[in-house]
Structure 1
Amino acid sequence: MITAYRANGEPVVITVQDPPASLAQDIVWIDLESPDKGEDMLVEELLGIAIPTREDMKDIEPSSRLYTENESVFITASLLHRAESDRPELTDVAFVLTGKRLVTIRYGAPKSFVLFTAAMHRIEGGCPTGAVLLARLMETIIDRTAEILEHAVLKIDALSLAVFEGRIPGKRRPPQFLEERLLDVAAHYRLVAKTRDSLASLSRAMTFLYTIHRVQEDREVRDLCRTISLDIQSLSEHASFISGNITFLLDASLGLINVEQNAIIKIFSIAAVVFLPPTLVASMYGMNFRIMPELQWTYGYPMAIVAMVMAGLVPFYFFRWKGWL
């Protein structure tokens, strides 16, 4: 799908079935979402540039993701996609500055694009050039990334409370409780890891964009790029801090699982020790020797029962006295 936007944010739909002969002068942004071959060819014909394909954007070499060609600037960055779902992903988005227009090619729907198109008409002074629009779009992407990290912090705090303060005195938690929390920790780690990868990609993109001549000539764009770069740096540090907290939570959860497992093993070990002396007494009087004086006692059987009970109670109370139970 091809959607063009004027400087004031007004959208214009362009179709292959009814292609325009040329683009209006006030169109500053052409957004291609999951374009097919026909739509790629139409935009290439209208702008006179080569549109990066999906295979081109998958290349991880910096020279293939950040370059200039015939005075057009090509930038490919990885943005977080489906952050609210259980399986967040990175989607590659290409930004092309050609003349005074910006072209974006994407095969996903990052929420930052939806937020930017909805607020584009409220930008003071509009976006007269593609460079200004790219800087404003990057600003929205960074704001969305910060929002994702804030939500991740809230969820991790709630998970931490569930792990450390979720126990009810006198009651044991379900056996699978902590194991299920480990799955939650893994999901949060995946989200933060994807966010860090996206920030690293955006940092390289902004560093490259800042060196572009037309960016250096525009004071507004230059200041925006500098501010965005600083925001990316602070968010990267914050993401590293969150990642450290997740690692601590993972280690703590595994430690609590070991503690609970050791408590169960301790119960079985103490039970075995408590029943060992009565078993010894019973095995002695269960031997089939012909001459055993105790067999002739009138009270031999009750005495054996008493001996077995006492042999079990003595170690039990000893363990209680030591605090092992």
Structure 2
Amino acid sequence: MTQIQKSLPLAQRPVDPQLRQAGWLRLSAAQTEQLAAVQNRYGIDLSLERGRAAIEEAGCVLVPVEMVIRQERKYQETCVLFVLGKDLLISVEQDVHLEALDLAGEQLLQAQRTGIELDPATMLFTIIEVLNDAARAAVGELSEQLDARSEAVAVASGGFEMSKRQAGVADIAGTAIALGEAEELVARMVEGQLMLARAGRWLRRFSDNATLAQGLSMLLSDIHSLRRYARFQHDKIRNLQQSLMTTLDLKQNQVIKVFTVVTAVFTPPTLLAAFYGQNFAYMPELELVWGEWLVMGLTGFFSLMPLFYIKRKGWMR
């Protein structure tokens, strides 16, 4: 399973002048000078130290959104701070350059060409919608990876891999580590959906547009539906982990059982060897011509008796 990776901030492509004129100011955490100028102008703290709480400040709503996206063929954990005012929308990308925001900008420009009037609330609505779609794509791809991982778990649980060799503890341990990474990834996705839903609720509270409010209700329902789907993937991972742990316990019991059988088989010969290894002054068996064959026969008989008893009880299955 692909592990979460954090990338260094990338150079931001400037927002289209038409969107900037509509009130969207898109910034990056790497643009320290522009961030400082915006903070001084609007009196708003846009730094990372502000925490994860959503607050109202200087007549604006500040909502941070942390989420996991699938970008550049890897899962990336990112954070975007949204500042929504009556005539202003600021987005600050903290970790990576989001291609989803590029897509949101293209959709907004397309809507503007069709005659739709853009305002900060409408633009934030479109951005949240696009981010939710990006999260859906990430969860969907993770689900496909989990399906492939489920087959590997089923093969390991059956005892053999495709090469027909016995699946060992190392094989199961590697799968367990991958599932642990996937569990952390899904947990971050669920948390991201919660923060995205919070941004939608703040937008509904801030906006007085009735048409937008209706769309927000549908969007929030979609976000919560995706969150439940992500939780389903989390439960699937837990079931796979439980299956692996059960298989690992069975294999450890199998190993212990093999050593127990070996010990039971070799205990009688060990006792006979210890008995005839004593330095007695007189041992009648030494005078028998067939004494050696007698001892060998008794040794074999007493070795097979425990094995026969264990097999009859079914302990070797």
For the aligned pair, the TM-score class normalised by the smaller chain equals 0.7 to 0.9
**Does the aligned pair in 2 maintain the 1:28–1:101 contact within 8 Å?**
yes
Distance 1:118 1:127 in 2: 15
Q: Which amino acid aligns with 1:151?
A: E
Q: Structure 2: any 5+ residue segments left out of the alignment?
A: 1-11
Question: Mean alpha-carbon deviation: is it higher for 138-147 or for 94-103?
Answer: 94-103
Q: Structure 1: any 5+ residue segments left out of the alignment?
A: 10-22
Q: How many Å apart are 1:253 and its aligned residue?
A: 0.8
Q: How many Å apart are 1:5 and its aligned residue?
A: 2.6
- Counterpart of 1:210 in 2: which secondary structure? helix
Change (3 A) 1:139 1:87: closer
Q: Which amino acid aligns with 1:31?
A: R
Q: How many Å apart are 1:6 and its aligned residue?
A: 4.1
Q: Does 2:81 match 1:94?
A: yes
Q: Does 2:197 match 1:206?
A: no
Q: Specify the alignment match of 1:78 in structure 2.
A: 66
Distance 1:84 1:185 in 2: 22
Q: Please provide the CA RMSD for this pair.
A: 2.6
Q: How many Å apart are 1:87 and its aligned residue?
A: 7.1
Q: Does 2:186 match 1:186?
A: no
**Does the aligned pair in 2 maintain the 1:74–1:97 contact within 8 Å?**
yes
Distance 1:192 1:56 in 2: 25
Q: Percent identity?
A: 22
TM-score (norm 2): 0.84
Q: How many Å apart are 1:269 and its aligned residue?
A: 0.6
**Does the aligned pair in 2 maintain the 1:86–1:187 contact within 8 Å?**
no
Higher RCO by CA contacts (8 Å cutoff, separation 6 or greater) = 2
Q: Specify the alignment match of 2:247 in structure 1.
A: 256
Distance 1:129 1:30 in 2: 12
Distance 1:287 1:127 in 2: 105
Q: Specify the alignment match of 2:297 in structure 1.
A: 306
Q: Does 2:282 match 1:288?
A: no
Q: Specify the alignment match of 1:223 in structure 2.
A: 214
Q: Does 2:133 match 1:143?
A: yes
1:5 to 12, 16, 39: 16
User: How do residues 53-64 of structure 1 correspond to structure 2 at under 5 angstroms?
Assistant: 53-57=46-50, 59-60=51-52, 62=53
Alpha-carbon displacement from aligned partner over 1:42-75 (angstroms, at most 9, x marks no partner): 4357xx4134332344x23x3xx231423x3322
Change (3 A) 1:86 1:132: closer
Q: Which amino acid aligns with 1:323?
A: G
Alpha-carbon displacement from aligned partner over 1:181-226 (angstroms, at most 9, x marks no partner): 01111111011110111112122222222111xx22x233212221
Aligned length: 298
Q: How many Å apart are 1:314 and its aligned residue?
A: 2.4
Q: Specify the alignment match of 1:39 in structure 2.
A: 34
Distance 2:95 2:291 in 1: 85
TM-score (norm 1): 0.82
- Counterpart of 1:161 in 2: which secondary structure? helix
Change (3 A) 1:178 1:5: same
